[in-house]
Amino acid sequence: VWASSTANALKLSFSSSSKLPPFSLSRSFSSVLDGLKYSSSHEWVKHEGSIATIGITDHAQEHLGEVVFVELPEAGGSVSKGNGFGAVESVKATSDVNSPISGEIVEVNDKLTGKPGLINSSPYEDGWN
């Protein structure tokens, strides 16, 4: 379940008529950063113009343990809110990755292919999905 939050290597584009879905904060988050929206399943979303970057919270990566592999989607595809778009494998388990919003994939974080541990060391910066 924690790994379903690892939407860390994905940027989405959506039309200006789209609205971001409602998000709720949970007391179990290790930290809450300004400018990010959080889902109850421990994803974060940063909205900049028509681009939204998605990532996993610090709390979620702590529970996953050492991330050793990330399956990423292809740029040009699309994702739907609540549906899977990849997987993350840690030393503890392999889990599907679900998107907290719908949109078109315009970029993925290719650095995660060679360095999946970026999700652990930098979940809000270099470890975005």
Tokens 């990566």 found at: 61
The arithmetic mean of pLDDT across residues 79-92, rounded, is 87
Single pTM value for the model: 0.70
Expressed in angstroms, the distance from the first to the final Cα of the chain is: 17
37-122 folds as: OB fold (Dihydrolipoamide Acetyltransferase, E2P) (2.40.50)
Q: What is the pLDDT of residues 6-58, one digit of tens each?
A: 344 445 544 444 454 444 444 444 567 888 888 777 778 898 999 999 888 88
Contacts of 122 (CB under 8 A, 6+ apart): none
Q: Which residue has the higher pLDDT, 18 or 71?
A: 71
For the chain, state the CA radius of gyration: 13
Q: Which residues sit opposite 105 in a β-bridge?
A: 12
Distance separating alpha carbons of residues 89 and 1, to the nearest angstrom = 12
What is the rounded CA–CA span in Å between residue 65 and residue 88?
Answer: 11
* Residues in the chain, total: 129
Structural domain spans, the chain: 37-122
Instruction: State how far the Cα of 123 lies from the Cα of 118, in Å rounded to an integer.
Output: 7
Residue found under tokens 């610090």:
58
